[in-house]
Amino acid sequence: MEELQIAFVGSPPPSGEEICASDINFDRTLPGLHQYLGTDFVDVGGRTFLEPGSETHMYAFYRKDVVLVPGHSLPLIPYDPLESDLLQKINKEKKSLIFLPGYQDHASLEDFVGCIGTTADLVAICIPDSSENAPIRAMFIGRQRIRITKATRDSSYPLVCYGKILPEASFDREMASHPLGWGLIPRSWSRFGRDPLPTRLNTHSCNELAKIS
């Protein structure tokens, strides 16, 4: 069997040594600042917390392939005037927004029912002057998971979703050390998907299990 050869450019990295602060030659705060969007943002940050189990409704935003996770930031540039109007409405009314999961196509509003979205707060926005040929730029922070129970839309675009706030996932040592490990965590806690439906055994299967026992 041929041995895999790894070639290093320059001197090979030290083996078994910790990385020191002096080894990092870039500003570690830059990635989270999203300065590629510009530095003329207006801070409008807020923290909206809703009681788990409570039902609410908010404006909603959907974009294919975009999934916002609670606790993470999302830079956003609108694609069309309707999205621009929505961002300005959110900014003016100081309301939260639901980001719907974009991991699959949705042919109708009913397809959103049962999905798990994320409530988000607008924390910074830049609205250019009318004379500028530039789009609105916004920054959102994901807050809580919400299970969608109803989705509606009106003629002025706003997609409004109704749903129930889900409890925050807490991964403790007892769960991590359980023989089944992370298999105990519902699918909706580990990713944006529907929990599997319970399977009901038919009469034949029940009889077979009774014979085995």
DSSP for 125-156? EE---TTS----EEEEEEEEEEEEEEEEE-TT
What is the number of structural domains in the chain?
1
If pLDDT is split at 50, 70 and 90, which confidence band does 42 have?
A: low
Q: Which domain holds residue 136?
A: 41-166
Residue 31: inside a domain: no
Residue 27: inside a domain: no
**In angstroms, rounded to a whole number, what is the distance separating the alpha carbons of residues 167 and 178?**
21
Take residue 9 and report the two structure tokens written for it: 């450019």
Residue 98: inside a domain: yes
If pLDDT is split at 50, 70 and 90, which confidence band does 164 have?
A: very high
Residue 181: inside a domain: no
Query: Is 146 a residue whose pLDDT tops 90?
Result: yes
Residue 35: inside a domain: no
The CATH number of residue 134's host domain is 2.30.130.40
Residue 75: inside a domain: yes
**In angstroms, rounded to a whole number, what is the distance separating the alpha carbons of residues 117 and 101?**
6
Q: Return the ∠ at Cα 79 (arms to 73 and 81), rounded to 5°.
A: 115
pLDDT for the residue numbered 180? 42
Most confident among 14-18, 33-37, 163-167, 180-184 (mean pLDDT): 163-167
Residue 152: inside a domain: yes
Residue 141: inside a domain: yes
pLDDT for the residue numbered 103? 82
Of residues 123 and 174, more confidence is placed in 123
